[in-house]
Each structure stands twice: as structure tokens, then as C-alpha cells.
Amino acid sequence: MIADDEAESASNSYLLSLVLLVGGAPLPILNLLASVIFYFGARRSSPFVRWHCTQALVGQLLLIPVNSTFLWMTIGLLFGQRELDDFYVGWGLVMLTLNAAELIASIYAAIKVRQGVDVRWWSIAPIVDALLGRQGWGKSVAPAMAMPVIVVVAMAAVTRVPWTAVLHTEKAQGRLEAKIDDLIEEALESNHQSVRDPAMESTLRKVVNRICDANRLECVDYRLYLVRDMTVNAATLPGGHFIVNAGLVFAAPDADALAGVLAHELAHAERGHVRGKLLREIGLSVLMGTKAEQSILLFRRMVSLSYDRDMESEADRSAVDWLVEAKVNPTSFANFLASLADGGSLPLTALARTHPGSEERALKILDRIPAKPPEWTPVLTPQEWEGFRQSLSAVVTKTQ
């Protein structure tokens, strides 16, 4: 027979673990800490109380790795280190199921144990028996392993389900990208920014294709916009849109320097720098619907966005490697950056503003060129380059 106060203490351990489960959900480590303190507090109680106290604790312990992993993934998601993928959704669902099971099992145990009934949790009770020396580990190992094995198998299976497709986030992503396409078109259209000239577009294409073809990059879907903006700048927008300002074309000493800037921007797109950062920043406001003035503001925001130094260095490294592979001499690109750092002769160098440390970047680029370079071939002939600049100049002065 179990004494009433004993039954009450034992039942309380489940109630406390319930409080911990709910309260500790955001920070599983608190959960663990409180459970351990609780366990040591109850160590001197009767065997019945101690046994149930331990069962409540072990039940909690099993949840901690699952909950903590989810917490870290969520932090990663919030800070842009990972995406909302199938693994995350699957893990979350298994975690919710386990926590719900623990919740129900704890309520049931609290009620039954209060009545003096000895509730033994499947797969967990043998661990408790072994921990408290009621039964050897040899006998406990097999049943004790059942729960972890089931959890691991469930995790492996559930995280493989294409949840994001099931939950239509991919559709939302597609919708977002389509909206961004509209927004860019709208912003460029509303202040007659974009230069729509097939000859100039194909020259720009030629430069990009040279880099893409040599490096087997899929650039067919990328869209290049030549824009009447005299600021020295280029930008990568979500959805494979590239903005090339007229100011950049006029400031570049030759087509190879322009190719370097374009290779750098391509790298931002190819390495996924744009997608993560920009989509998070502007994604919501785009999906909420935008008015024309807002679309221009958003567009400006996208164009002026700068990346962190690691991303910039990564983009520079890729740019140099791609240029070398395409037999385009990166020296011109490096010199161009160095000249932007001086600032002096150039009016508005947004490129230097969004890309700080141009001098240092130039040196790193020169460093990365192989000692035995391939035979360099200019990306455009001098005639092509001059023709391109003259056509652009004619369009820009005509509209000013």
C-alpha cells in the first residue's frame, strides 16, 4: 500500500515536469537544469517517490536533444543561416508529436500515481529500474533502446517528406519571385530607366555569356537591365535580375573591367547571397502588395543593399576564377576597383560605397591570378566596346 503523502509527492513530480515542459519549451536547457535540481531534492524520499521522480526526469531528458536541435535550427533560420526546408519542418513535426505524447503521458501519470497506481512508461521504465538498481542494465538495454530507435527512424522518415512542397511554400516562393519581376519592371518603367536596345543588350549579353559558357553556369534565365543611371554601380536583384548602370559603363576603363564587375555580381546570384538576404528583407512587403511609389522605394532599397565582407570576398574570388577560366584578364577589374577607392576623378561611386575596402580587394584579386595565366583574350574588341559606349551615350544624353 502506498501512503497518501507519498502518492501526492510522486504525482507532483509529474505535475512539475509538466510545468517544466511548457515553461522550458523555448529554452530546453532550463528544463534540464530544473529537472536535475528537482531530482536531487527528491533523492532522500521513499523508493516510490524516487522512482516516479526519476521516470519524470528521464522522460524529460529524452526530449532535450530533440528540442534543443530545433531551437538551434530556428535561431539559424531567423539569422538567415538556413532555409525553411523539409528537414526543419519534419523535425518540428516529430518534436511536436513527442512533446504532446510527453504532455499526455505526464497528465495521465500524475492522476494515476496520485491514486497510488504504479504507472510504468513504455521503454522508459526499464531505464529507471536500471538507474535505481532495481534491475541490471543487461535486462534494461533492449527495451530502453526501443524509444530512441523509434524516434531516430521517425526523424529519418519524416524529415525526408517534401513538406515545403506540401505546405505550398514553394508556390509562395514562386509567387514572390513573380511579384519581384513585376516590381522591377514597374520601377524601371515608371521613371523610364531601362535602356531597351537590342544591340546594346546583346553586347552586354556577350560579356556575360563569355563568363557563363567558360564556367558552365546556367545564365539563360538571368535578365540584364541597362539603366540610365549615371551612378557608378551594378546590382544583383532577386530572381536573377541584374542592374547595370550607364555610369558604370562610362567609368570602366575597358570591357574586361566591366566583365569583372559583372562576374562579381553573377557570383552573388550563383552563391545564393541575394536570395537569402534580400528575400527576407523585402519578401514580406512585396507579398503584402505594393503601390507604384513603394515599388520604386523597394527597388532603390534592393539596388543599394550591401552584403557582408565574407560574401564580398567570396564573390571576388569566384569572379577572378571565372574570369581566368574564360581567359579574361582580371587585372583590369582590379585596377578599376583601386581607382574607385581613390574616388577623386569619379563623381558618385555607389559601387565603392556598397563595396568598401576597394583597395584591399584589388590587391587580393591580383594575388589570385595564377602565376602561369592562360593566353588572355579581351572580352570585347576595342571597336565593340567603343560602339557600345557611344550608343549608350547617345541614348543617355538624348533623354536628359
Q: Is 147 within 8 Å of 124 (Cβ atoms)? A: yes
Provide, rounded to whole angstroms, the least separation between the CB of residue 299 and Zn ion: 18
Provide, rounded to whole angstroms, the least separation between the CB of residue 389 and Zn ion: 23
Q: What does 142-203 look like in DSSP terms, one character per residue?
A: HHHHHHHHHHHHHHHHHTTS-HHHHTTHHHHHHHHHHHHHHHHHHHHHHTT-B---HHHHHH
Q: Is 142 within 8 Å of 152 (Cβ atoms)? A: no
Provide, rounded to whole angstroms, the least separation between the CB of residue 234 and Zn ion: 9
- Written as nine digits, the cell of 318 is 569566384
Q: What does 119-146 look like in DSSP terms, one character per residue?
A: ---TTTHHHHHHHTTSS-HHHHHHHHHH
Site for Zn ion in 311-340 (CB under 5 A): 315
User: Which of residues 114 and 364 has its CB atom nearest to Zn ion in the complex?
Assistant: 364
DSSP assigned state of 291: -
- Written as nine digits, the cell of 111 is 492522476
Provide, rounded to whole angstroms, the least separation between the CB of residue 268 and Zn ion: 6
User: Which of residues 195 and 315 has its CB atom nearest to Zn ion in the complex?
Assistant: 315
Q: How far apart (Å, rounded) are the C-alpha atoms in residues 244 and 233?
A: 7
User: Which of residues 94 and 282 has its CB atom nearest to Zn ion in the complex?
Assistant: 282
Binding mask 297-316 for Zn ion (x = CB under 5 A): ------------------x-
User: Which of residues 94 and 263 has its CB atom nearest to Zn ion in the complex?
Assistant: 263
Residues paired with 226 in a beta bridge: 244
User: Which of residues 295 and 332 has its CB atom nearest to Zn ion in the complex?
Assistant: 332
User: Which of residues 42 and 311 has its CB atom nearest to Zn ion in the complex?
Assistant: 311
Q: How far apart (Å, rounded) are the C-alpha atoms in residues 165 and 170?
A: 6
Taking CA 193 as the corner, what is the angle to CA 267 and CA 265, rounded to the nearest 5 degrees? 5
Provide, rounded to whole angstroms, the least separation between the CB of residue 232 and Zn ion: 13
Provide, rounded to whole angstroms, the least separation between the CB of residue 364 and Zn ion: 13
Contact set with Zn ion (CB under 5 A): 315
